[in-house]
């Protein structure tokens, strides 16, 4: 069984604890750069290109980048769920509901079995 490597190779994420929308910190984490240098380069581009071009690109990047997961992703199943949730919350909620319904049916079958008269008789006769 292959161990999951985490977020490496899974895309670029906005940092949840960045200064302004987490774009610079997310880019720095993805490319393994210092956040200081990414922010410095961003400010320099801001001064040389003017206010609106960089602001538009920054907001566009913030809208296109997925937010960083709240909890660390440990398995591929968790990564797939997170990606599906970010892209389609309705689909992810539907999948969770199906899983919950399946678990609920299993619990009901176990409860029916344990509370049945046959189970009570078997327990009295065998133990």
Residue 42 backbone phi and psi in degrees, to 5: -60, -45
pLDDT of residue 84: 74
Q: In whole angstroms, what is the distance from residue 127 CA to residue 25 CA? A: 63
The string of pLDDT tens digits covering residues 13-45 is 888 888 888 899 999 988 999 999 999 999 998
Q: What integer pLDDT is reported at residue 47 of this predicted model?
A: 87
What's the rounded Cα separation, in Å, for the pair 29 and 10?
12
Express each pLDDT in 68-115 by its tens digit: 877 777 788 887 777 777 777 777 778 888 888 999 999 998 888 878
pLDDT above 60 (res 8): no
Is a pLDDT exceeding 50 seen at residue 6?
A: no
Contacts of 24 (CB under 8 A, 6+ apart): 18, 35, 38, 39, 42
* Cα gap 60→65, rounded to integer Å: 9
Structural domain spans, the chain: 1-73, 88-127
Global pTM value = 0.53
SS3 45: helix
Confidence of residue 10 (pLDDT cuts 50, 70, 90): low
């Amino acid at each position: 069984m292959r161990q999951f490597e985490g977020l490496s190779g899974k895309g670029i994420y906005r940092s949840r604890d960045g200064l302004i929308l987490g774009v610079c910190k997310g880019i720095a984490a993805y490319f393994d750069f210092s956040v200081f240098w990414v922010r410095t380069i961003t400010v320099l581009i801001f001064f040389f290109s003017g206010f609106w071009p960089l602001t538009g690109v920054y907001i566009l990047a913030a809208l296109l980048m997925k937010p960083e997961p709240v909890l660390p992703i440990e398995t591929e199943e968790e990564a797939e769920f997170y990606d599906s949730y970010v892209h389609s919350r309705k689909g992810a909620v539907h999948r969770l509901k199906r899983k919950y319904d399946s678990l609920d049916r299993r619990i009901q079958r176990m409860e029916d079995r344990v509370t049945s008269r046959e189970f009570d008789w078997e327990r009295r006769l065998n133990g």
